[in-house]
Amino acid sequence: RDFNERCAQCSEVNWGLTDGGRFYCRSCHNVTERTREVVNTDFITNSRVQTIAKGLRKQEKTDGDCEWYICEGFQLVLKKQVEALEALGVCPQMKDEILCNFWRCYLQKSKQAYCRRPAGETVKTLSVCESSTEVDSDPERPSLLHLLSLSESEGDLQTDCSIASSVSKVSESTSVYSGSVDGSLYLRKNQKEKLMMTMPMTLSFCYMALLWVREPITLSELLRFVVEGHIPYLNVFQHFPEKMKLCGLDLKIFCVESWPVYEEVFNKMHELAAFLDLPRFPDITESCFLHPDMLCMKYLMEANLPDELHNWTCRVVKKIGIGEVDFLTLTPGNKSTRKVKYDVLAAAVIVVVLKLLFLLDDHYEWLLSEFAEERNKNNPEVCMFYSGGPYFEFKKWYEVVKHSLDVEQKKLDEERAKHLWRCEKPLFYSVKNKSKVLKRRQMVVSLKNQFGKLSGSVQRAEKPNPSSFQLSWSEENTNGSCFHGHSLKGILQEKCGLLTVMNPDYWLCTVKLCNEKLCGHLAHYKEVEFPQSYHFVLRLFSFLLRIQPSYIHDEVCMIEHKLFNKKLCKKLKYNTVLRK
């Protein structure tokens, strides 16, 4: 009754009071900045104290947004990724029986759910809040128990009302620049907590689940499917429900502007397995796809190499014991065993076999190729009848594979250069700006299409179906570009009933291995220090696996030292005696 100013919008004098102590017009509902003058004489007699209310009140959800947590965002990412894997043919049990249990165990171990909130965290959270007197210090962390099934719908994102209401009050001051409840606190956590969820770790979860069920998908294939867009990873947050407001620090957590790195995903997977205290994984036996004998067969076909090489790869695998169950099976937390990269190991075995047969020193393999070419030209029918196929010509294989490799590498480089990192779905943070953002986005797309028609640019083709093979070679081709049926008898000799190589020489990539924990590699690789034939073979398999050649070189050095361990020990002892 004491406030007689006219409303700035409707010129009426009809004021009411909000919960925060501000005046609002009952006619047009306009809220002013003026607050009520409060008279308080309860605690001091014969005195009058005038105070101005702060006017702080809980910010209302005007855009229909829901309160959500970072772990819920990563749960949606995992849900999308595992559904994409199911579409590629992965067994349905991996989703709810394997990955979901891994995720629940991680939330409990990391104390994000299924546990009581640590006492120190509540105090730390409340100390940040300016109006700590308005916060209910409930020691329970939001349970999210009904959220953790990866089969539930995206719309089921509500938390326990009694707990979420208290945490939201904290989030008003702690998550000012994020749409999630705990966005800012998530990034403030101690860096010593190594296993805070990141986007690459979602792929580590998927690979760990694939390894548990022994699915025929290697880590290199998983990352390739990500790059090709078959598995959601880049801009995956555009699949979040609209009521999950994503802004500020949330984008820093979920927005990815780089391709996943093999080594990072691989190491995080092993850290996760140890962190979760998982038991020994199911055995990798000879019948499993991840066994070196199986993978060598696959990569020999993809590299367009003779089928007879598989007998040699199996001999090498058996000789050095890398096909044993205990060597291949993952035992989390066991530091005495080496972490096995199944795809890289198989590729390295093939490289070692090629060195055993062709030496790959830029000289001997060309001599063998000239000999095989001459035999094929002079006696084509004899070669077909007695050896089951023409003699394998390394030079011809090199030319055919190099041409295809250069073409595919150029396509890959162009696709990566043209990749649009910006999200196709526009991000808007309020209903007021939604129409403006959508209209602006529609205008941009329209202009882009018009300029594309004027410039004559070709529209982007649809995504091809995923395939395990990047390079395909058909034996039905008459141009001789397929070498699967070619024979190796031209470079072998029979000795004591066994086929052995004609040349007994072999050169080692390195005499002494480095400390992998200190250097990060077992050996250092520089292209100029090795023959070009060896580098070409490494380049071929690095393209197939989408990794650096140095990682394959490491495995080659490890296999060589296992294969020639006795000779190396004798040589090192001999050199030590000479020095003395």
For residue 389 the two structure tokens come to 């196929």
Note the pLDDT of residue 91.
92
Look at the block and give the residue holding tokens 């009581």.
Answer: 116
Note the pLDDT of residue 522.
78
For residue 394 the two structure tokens come to 């390394």
User: What average pLDDT does the segment 277-304 reach?
Assistant: 95
**Which of 206, 339, 346, 334 shows the shortest CA–CA distance to 288?**
346
User: What average pLDDT does the segment 62-74 reach?
Assistant: 77
pLDDT-derived band at 568 (thresholds 50, 70, 90) equals: low
For residue 160 the two structure tokens come to 């326990």
Q: Is the pLDDT of residue 131 over 50?
A: no
Q: Pinpoint the alpha helices (H) of 214-261.
A: 219-227, 249-254
Q: Assess contact for 34 and 22: CB atoms under 8 A.
A: yes
166-180, 346-360, 555-569: segment of lowest average pLDDT: 166-180
Helix crossing, 199-213 with 219-227: angle to 10°? 130
Q: Assess contact for 464 and 284: CB atoms under 8 A.
A: no
Note every long-range contact of 158-166, with CB atoms under 8 Å and residues 24 or more positions apart, other chains counting.
158/66, 159/67, 159/69, 162/138, 163/138, 164/67, 165/136, 166/135, 166/136, 166/137, 166/138
pLDDT tens-place string over residues 399-422: 999 999 999 999 999 888 877 777
User: What average pLDDT does the segment 199-228 reach?
Assistant: 95
Note the pLDDT of residue 20.
65
- The burial of 305, by beta-carbon neighbours within 10 Å (0-12 exposed, 13-18 middle, 19 or more buried), is given as buried
Most confident listed range (6-15, 124-133, 207-216, 424-433): 207-216
pLDDT-derived band at 285 (thresholds 50, 70, 90) equals: very high
Give the percent of the chain with pLDDT over 70.
Answer: 72
Task: Tell me the helices (H) and strands (E) count for the chain, helix number first.
Answer: 22, 7
At residue 173's C-alpha, the angle toward residues 170 and 174, to 5°, is 75
User: What average pLDDT does the segment 374-389 reach?
Assistant: 68
How far are the Cα atoms of 41, 260, 274, 403 from residue 349, in angstroms, in the given order?
88, 25, 28, 24
- Alpha carbon 433 to chain centroid distance? 34
Beta strands in 229-382 (DSSP E): none
Neighbouring residues of 197: CB distance < 8 A, sequence distance ≥ 6:
70, 71, 74, 106, 110
Rounded Cα distance between 375 and 370, Å, is 9
Instruction: Give kind and range of the element (H or E) at residue 577.
Output: helix 565-579
Q: Assess contact for 353 and 558: CB atoms under 8 A.
A: no
pLDDT tens-place string over residues 433-447: 667 777 777 787 777
